[in-house]
Chains A and B, each alone.
Chain A
Amino acid sequence: MTALVTFKDVHKSYGTLPVLKGVSLTVPEGRVVALIGRSGSGKSTALRCINGLETIQSGTLEVCGRKLHEANCDLRHLRMEVGIVFQSYNLFPHLTVEQNVTLAPRLTGKASQAEAHEIARKVLEQVGLAEKAKAYPEQLSGGQQQRVAIARSLAMQPRVILFDEVTSALDPELTAEVLKTIEQLAQSGMTMVLVTHEMSFARRVADEIIFMHQGVVWETGDGSMFDNPQTPELRQFVGSGL
């Protein structure tokens, strides 16, 4: 099984603030990896390193066969293979749902106009929003907007998608519909890294769960690690109900 993401002793700081202090982890192709941990433990930073939004200071980071620790890494081609979905959706408000979804495939030369249209139809169907193709983001609920953001990522046919607390801004009902979409995606075999606060969801969907604490991988396991935490930090984290 090939690894799509490999961190080896990755260090990253913002100015003088060290945030990742020697992170090592791998994400095998076809697997779903959940990143959990307290706020400020470096989960978002780790995710942002994966698609090159942040540069690392030391260690090695390989994503889809590209060495991100090397200065000449081609980030644009990396991002054709790595999708990311944010907590705040970040849809383009001046474009319709369909235009949001087709923009990147068209501009990057991945698809012609007609192909892009077909891709949009397919991915919007996948997230259950085919009938909203002509709507503008502001006309959609938060949950629908987030599903469009997922569709927009899917349209680039990425090899791996990163999710950064994508349901944190949603109320429970809308959270459920977005989680269902992600779960279906997981079942379709998509490689994913999920930063999430939804522990029961992580437990159900993730093949592997990584507990981050103070900038390092503190404990790793599958869903059963919640029942039997090996470290006091994870025990406390689980106990706090987060």
Chain B
Amino acid sequence: MTFAGLTPNQLLFILQGAGWTVILSLLGFVGGSVIGLPAAVGRISKNRLLRFGIAGYINLIQGIPLPIIMFLCYFGMSIAGFSVPALVAAAVAMTAYCSAYLAEIWRGALMSVPKAQWEAAECLALKPFQRLTHVILPQAVRISIAPTVGFLVQIVKNSSYAVVIGFAELTYTARLLNNSTFRPFVIFSIAALLYFAICYPLSLYSRRLERRLKRG
């Protein structure tokens, strides 16, 4: 039994690749959030040193192509004496990449909460951390949901750069399959469809959130 000239095993292989793409994207998003949220808060802190330090980190990451970050993580860690699986290297690279962009998205959201809200919280004798967590963040989250979901699409698509370090995500499995079957059009079409199937619902959802937010 074949589908578009591919055996069930070959199809399963490419689907597994899609599964790893989702997993890598999730790891990148979660890792990126864990670093990106404090980075966003640090970017608006009163401490100049902290602000500039984080800005430096963000600019650095945003100024390096993701495949190079992948290489750096993969070979860097092995040079440092850790022989890590490609998944770990790819996840670390994606974490770095996501953290820089999420930090900027969330900094924007934090800054779009009116200054008067900080002041009102301050006038009610809340401590700085309480102002942030009880007054500012809940409003910033609302503002940032749509662009964050929109960025998820970028994460999924850019996770394909893990191909350069041989991590078996969707792009890599598709290429591998092509090497043995020589049916590039069929195989890469399937890969494209799978990417689209992951990304399109996210885009739709993001746009719907944006519309809902505009309506208030």
CB within 8 Å of B: which residues of A? Answer: 51, 53, 76-77, 79-80, 83-84, 86, 88, 90-94, 103-104, 107-108, 138, 152, 156
Contacts and interface: CB of A to CB of B under 8 A. Distances in A.
Interface residues on B, range: 10 to 19
Contact of B123 (A79, A91, A103): A79
B125 A108 contact: yes
6 contacts: A76-B127, A84-B123, A86-B116, A93-B139, A107-B127, A156-B125
Given A86-B116, A88-B116, A94 B139 contact: yes
B118 to A, nearest CB: 10
Contact of A103 (B116, B119, B134, B139): B134
Given A103-B134, A107-B134, A90 B126 contact: no
A152 B142 CA distance: 23
A83 B120 CA distance: 10
Nearest to A82: B123
Interface string B45-82: 00000000000000000000000000000000000000
Interface string B136-161: 00110010000000000000000000
Nearest to A106: B134
Contacts of B138: 94
Interface of B: 116-117, 119-127, 130, 134-135, 138-139, 142, 216
A83 to B, nearest CB: 8
Contact of B117 (A53, A92, A108, A156): A92
B216 A138 contact: yes
A80 B121 CA distance: 12
Contacts of A156: 124-125
Contacts of B127: 76, 107
Contact of B124 (A53, A77, A88, A152): A152
Contacts of A53: 119, 122-123
Contacts of B117: 90, 92
Contacts of B123: 51, 53, 79, 83-84
Given A51-B123, A103-B134, A156-B125, 8 more contacts: A88-B116, A90-B117, A92-B120, A92-B121, A92-B135, A92-B139, A94-B139, A103-B124
